[in-house]
Amino acid sequence: MNYQNRALIDELASQYAIGTLRGAARLRFERLCRHDTDALLSVQRWEDRLIDLASAITPVRPPATVWRGIQQRLDNRRATQEHSRLWHRQRWALAAGVAMMVFAVTLWTVLSSSTHVIATIVDAQQAQLWRIEAPSDRDALHIEALDALQADASHAYELWALSAAGGPPISLGLMPQSGNVELQLTQAQRIALAGARQIAISLEPSGGSPSGAPTGPVLYVAAIAPG
């Protein structure tokens, strides 16, 4: 734009003073006025003319309905803004509540499903044969056969809970001879395990003891870790 054109500068000054010069054009003209005295004086002349025109206008008091309309719009805007803030607060509170619930459920699941070793069965040379784990409520046993165990396909290894009060051994199930197994315990088995200080493993016919009591030699006895 040719700012050396005085007629153009005067036109821009008039638009600036009236307020119709906007956006980037207004910013450019303000920068011009900072170092161009003629442009600044042109703006001042137009402002003086407008002031004279304004002084000749008789003020008109707007009707009350105008003020009520303005107040209503302001009240509506404030109500909308407050509703929006309330909605955001409720949304964040709901999100925080859901997050806490998910965290609590996850924590409960982890704690309830986590297991710990209650016994490790070793042979005379202290080689580990089985590792027995249980959750905190001991409603199941997770048993893993370890590398030192020698498999015996013609026999079964059966696990027994030995009552601290001296009652008869209660079978807890058959031990795996490789890999691992999950033994779900009945109510009677859980009670027997809760009242036991030791567990034992006997050598039984394939399929386990036919009588509900140890029929073969008791090969291993181990203490139960307190839970």
Residue 161 in contact with residue 189, Cβ under 8 Å? yes
E strand or H helix at 187, and its extent? helix 187-194
For the whole model, what pTM was predicted? 0.51
What contacts 48, CB < 8 A, 6 or more positions away? none
Say what the pLDDT of residue 110 is. Answer: 43
| Mean local confidence (pLDDT), 200-221 | 93
User: Does residue 211 register a pLDDT over 60?
Assistant: yes
Residue 219 in contact with residue 201, Cβ under 8 Å? yes
Say what the pLDDT of residue 109 is. Answer: 47
Q: How many CB atoms lie within 10 A of CB 21?
A: 18
What contacts 32, CB < 8 A, 6 or more positions away? 3, 9, 39
Strand boundaries in the chain, DSSP class E? 115-122, 128-135, 140-145, 155-163, 170-174, 180-184, 196-205, 218-223
| Mean local confidence (pLDDT), 101-120 | 61
Residue 194 in contact with residue 177, Cβ under 8 Å? no
Higher pLDDT, 104 or 25: 25
Say what the pLDDT of residue 50 is. Answer: 78
CA distances, 196 to each of 50, 134, 147 (Å): 103, 14, 27
Say what the pLDDT of residue 140 is. Answer: 92
Fold (topology level) of 115-223: Immunoglobulin-like (2.60.40)
Higher pLDDT, 99 or 131: 131
User: Does residue 107 register a pLDDT over 70?
Assistant: no
H helices of 56-178, in order, are 64-113
For the chain, the domains span 6-55, 61-113, 115-223
| Region of residue 174 (left: phi > 0; alpha: psi -120 to 50; beta: else) | beta
Lowest average pLDDT, out of 41-50, 91-100, 110-119, 197-206, goes to 91-100
Lowest average pLDDT, out of 10-24, 112-126, 143-157, 211-225, goes to 112-126
User: Does residue 56 register a pLDDT over 80?
Assistant: no
CA distances, 181 to each of 99, 151, 201 (Å): 35, 15, 15
| Mean local confidence (pLDDT), 13-26 | 88
